[in-house]
Amino acid sequence: GGPGGSEEIAAKSMEEQRRQIDVPVNLRLRWVDTNFGVAEDRLFNTKSRLDSFAGRSVVASVEYANVGGSNRASVLALGGTEEDPLQTTVTRFKGPAAQKVFVVAHGEEYDPDSKDKWAGHEVLRSIFALTNQNTAPPVTTDTESIWYFERIDDSNIRARLRIASYLNAQSDTLYFEAKNRAVSFADYDLVLKKVPA
């Protein structure tokens, strides 16, 4: 049911998702080398994704947030740098709203015999709140991004992304009825092309 178990909000969300079927979205994404391996540049990618899917510039700023499991001090203590990405971001929108996104869990699978294929997932918790005088409570959502990448050549990767959305006990009255199963899926076919830096 949508935030607060609202079936009306869920129906509007589903209708919006249906309108986006087969609509191509062009966006730039960036990954960076770190002492720990390659990591997603969450600041750049969060803004790029949100602006691209909205079809206009909606993000004012994105910054990293220090949290218990992923903070600048622990990254530095483990041999990282000031520039290394963290796992939690805070996005401020151009309107009176902000969103904090936490990586709750992640994992990967790959075949050691084939370095051209990789699969992974991230479970994210997002807290969206209005930043004006409105007293509406924040909305908490849980999603899982499931990625599959296949390297075609040095400049091209074919990928699939499935976003599974779950109800949240803090925000959804239908949470227990969902029995911890995803309530919606969004599937994307991706073509990634390396561009000059």
Looking at residue 7, its pLDDT comes to: 74
Q: What is the pTM of this model?
A: 0.84
Looking at residue 173, its pLDDT comes to: 81
- Dump pLDDT digits (tens) for 130-147: 999 888 888 888 999 999
Share of the chain above pLDDT 90, in %: 59
Looking at residue 48, its pLDDT comes to: 95
* CA 152 remoteness from chain centre: 24
Looking at residue 1, its pLDDT comes to: 45
End-to-end CA distance of the chain: 43
Looking at residue 75, its pLDDT comes to: 93
Looking at residue 4, its pLDDT comes to: 54
- Dump pLDDT digits (tens) for 80-98: 999 999 999 999 999 999 9
Q: Where are the beta strands (DSSP E) in the chain?
A: 31-34, 37-40, 59-64, 89-93, 97-109, 117-130, 139-153, 156-166, 184-193
Name the stretches of the chain with pLDDT < 50: 1-2
